[in-house]
């Protein structure tokens, strides 16, 4: 296993992903976490926002003195190693963004040109290396960009894990296989079978319950646990009336008919719409939906003799919500079932908690889940309630449902759905004047939104060809009663968020 020590870098997760993409297992820990060194083959120290000379700056982990294997230290990690081993770091001019560096011959740079552009983000700089170290890369401003002792330490002042660094993937691969001599051991098939064995051991002959949304994470968690315990898994799908067109029918078809699961569908449309009547504030809408969902789910769970609650928590959730330095970090619960394990005295099972989203999708494909579910775009927990701006009514939901369906089907028709990260329609709380036939029309405005992103932290609006947008807009204004105008949102994140509410 490759251990990534997180010093607060926004890229720590990315390092772990890059390693796993090379089919080598990796985990993220914090500097004061306890570690079983018998399982560690290599250590990577991440970057971070601090200076090594700050009084309370993060230090090397306690266990680092005992660890004798290879180390790759990035940015802050490099400066920390230099300082701890007797070199000198001081405040410099700083290098930020794309920077040209010149590389020397070294196993970590095998197969890479002598000059490459890398991504820098540092204010401090190394001015004197520890004894036994030598530079293997220098930036265009003369700063030491990489160094090694040729034995177990490789230090990079730049970030090889970000796509802005040319040949960054190759550098990480070289470290894993040229320097550490690791073997590929992260196979999806083996992983799935191991997880099924672990779930069987954990749950045994007892019953478990899962809130199935039809999204990627809950769907993969459901099929994985079903493989292990069969009908002892109770999947609860709550139809709160805020779903996309045909969503309930598709979930029933896939999970009840295709996978023969113990699926319970709860029709709670009336009670959710009643609770949302007159509410316009988006945060209030979210809170009402979350609390009502818990009530519905809890009512259903009491009808079944269950001991375990299955959740689709994934690794990015674990890392994002971890309190630095605490091994018992609080995990970000699914918005729908937060707090349920404690309230209902259920034991929590999270079969996907060590997987990133792309790995979850690979597991889903391995398990035979249809591509239409595995490759679905992200969908907000509160559903269409946060895409109907203002008060949510049945009429508005039906208008939005049809408009959204037409937009998505148009993208699929032109093989464009999988080229964007997320696409959807929004019903605006305004009407505009138009002409239909020979008569004046005064109807709703629909905004179409499509973005490209990796993790959703930042996003760029998608440059969908005009003929596709034109087709979608024409169909929506022609086929959806009550819509007279369609606009396309060309705002990136930041400054906007992906969702409108």
Q: Which residues are annotated as a binding site for ATP?
A: 213-219
Give the separation between CA 473 and CA 403, rounded to whole angstroms: 9
Torsion over CA: 157, 161, 162, 167 (sign) = positive
Q: Closest by alpha carbon to 78, among 52, 101, 99, 53?
A: 52
Residue 175, CA atoms < 13 Å, CB-side half-sphere: 28
Could you tell me which residues come within 8 angstroms of residue 13 by beta carbon, excluding any fewer than 6 positions away? Answer: 28, 315, 316, 319, 356, 455
235 classed as catalytic: no
Residue of 27, 75, 166, 359 marked active site: 75
Give the E-state strand segments of 60-112 in sequence order: 71-74, 88-103
Backbone dihedral angles phi then psi of residue 194, each to the nearest 5 degrees? -65, -40
For the beta carbon of residue 323, count every other beta carbon within 10 angstroms.
Answer: 10
80 membership: H or E segment, kind and range: helix 76-84
Per-residue tokens: 317: 């959730």
Cβ neighbours of residue 356 under 8 Å, at least 6 residues apart?
13, 16, 17, 20, 314, 315, 316
Query: Is 75 annotated in the active site?
Result: yes
- Separation CA 191–CA 197 (nearest Å): 10
Q: 263: helix, coil or strand?
A: strand
Residue from 159, 226, 240, 334 carrying the catalytic annotation: 159
Cα separation of 416 and 361, whole Å? 19
Q: CA–CA separation, 201 vs 439, rounded Å?
A: 69
Residue in 161, 166, 247, 501 annotated catalytic: 161
Helical residues (DSSP H) of 367-498, grouped into ranges? 371-374, 394-413, 466-479
What are residue 191's phi and psi, to 5 degrees? -60, -45
For the record, the structure tokens of 132 come out as: 């036994």
Distance, CA of 196 to CA of 209 (rounded, Å): 16
For residue 262, the cross-strand partners are: 234
Ranges of beta strands (E only) in 110-177 are: 115-128, 134-139, 144-148, 153-156
- Pairing outcome for strands 483-488 and 460-461: unpaired
Instruction: Give the chain's radius of gyration (CA, Å).
Output: 26
Distances in Å between the Cα of 439 and the Cα atoms of 412, 431, 433, 436 are: 34, 16, 11, 6
- Say whether 159 is catalytic: yes
Q: Which residues are catalytic?
A: 75, 159, 161
């Amino acid at each position: 296993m490759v251990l990534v020590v997180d010093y607060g870098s926004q890229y720590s997760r990315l390092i772990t992903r890059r390693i796993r993409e090379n089919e080598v297992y990796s985990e993220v820990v914090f500097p004061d976490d306890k570690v079983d060194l018998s399982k560690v083959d290599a250590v990577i120290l991440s970057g971070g926002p601090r200076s090594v000379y700050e009084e309370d700056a993060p230090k090397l982990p306690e266990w680092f003195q005992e660890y004798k294997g290879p180390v790759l230290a990035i940015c802050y990690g490099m400066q920390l190693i230099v300082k701890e081993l007797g070199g000198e770091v001081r405040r410099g001019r700083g290098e930020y963004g794309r920077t040209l560096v010149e590389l020397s011959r070294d196993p970590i740079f095998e197969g890479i040109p002598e000059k490459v552009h890398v991504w820098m983000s540092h204010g401090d700089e190394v001015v004197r290396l520890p004894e036994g170290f030598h530079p293997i890369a220098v930036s265009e401003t003369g700063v030491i960009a990489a160094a090694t002792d040729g034995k177990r330490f490789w230090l990079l002042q730049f970030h090889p894990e970000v796509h802005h660094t040319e040949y960054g993937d190759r550098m990480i691969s070289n470290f894993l296989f040229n320097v550490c001599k690791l073997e590929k051991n992260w196979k999806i098939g083996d992983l799935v079978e191991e997880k099924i064995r672990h779930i069987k051991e954990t749950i045994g002959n007892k019953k478990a319950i899962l809130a199935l949304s039809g999204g990627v994470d809950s769907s993969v968690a459901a099929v994985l646990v079903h493989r292990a315990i069969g009908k002892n898994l109770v999947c609860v799908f709550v139809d709160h009336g805020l779903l996309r067109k045909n969503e309930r029918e598709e979930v029933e078809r896939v999970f009840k008919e295709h996978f023969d699961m113990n699926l319970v569908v709860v029709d709670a449309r009336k009670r959710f719409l009643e609770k949302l009547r007159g509410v316009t504030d988006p945060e209030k809408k979210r809170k009402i939906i979350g609390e009502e969902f818990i009530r519905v789910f809890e009512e259903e769970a009491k009808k079944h003799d269950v001991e375990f609650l299955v959740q689709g928590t994934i690794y990015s959730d674990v890392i994002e919500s971890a309190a630095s330095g605490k091994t018992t970090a609080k995990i970000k619960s699914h918005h729908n079932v937060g707090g349920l394990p404690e309230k209902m005295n259920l034991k929590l099972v999270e079969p996907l908690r060590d997987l990133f989203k792309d790995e979850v999708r690979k597991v889903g494909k391995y398990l035979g889940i249809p591509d239409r579910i595995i490759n679905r775009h992200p969908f907000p927990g509160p559903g269409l309630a946060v895409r109907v701006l203002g008060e949510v009514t049945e009429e508005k939901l039906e208008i939005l449902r049809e408009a959204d369906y037409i937009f998505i089907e148009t993208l699929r028709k032109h093989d464009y759905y999988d080229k964007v990260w997320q696409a959807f329609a929004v019903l605006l709380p305004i009407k505009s004047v138009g002409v239909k036939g020979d008569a004046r029309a005064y109807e709703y405005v629909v905004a179409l939104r499509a973005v490209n992103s990796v993790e959703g932290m930042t996003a760029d609006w998608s440059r969908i060809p005009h003929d596709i947008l034109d087709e979608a807009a024409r169909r929506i204004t022609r086929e959806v009663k009550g819509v007279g105008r369609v606009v396309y949102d060309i705002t990136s994140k930041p400054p906007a968020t992906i969702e409108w509410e």
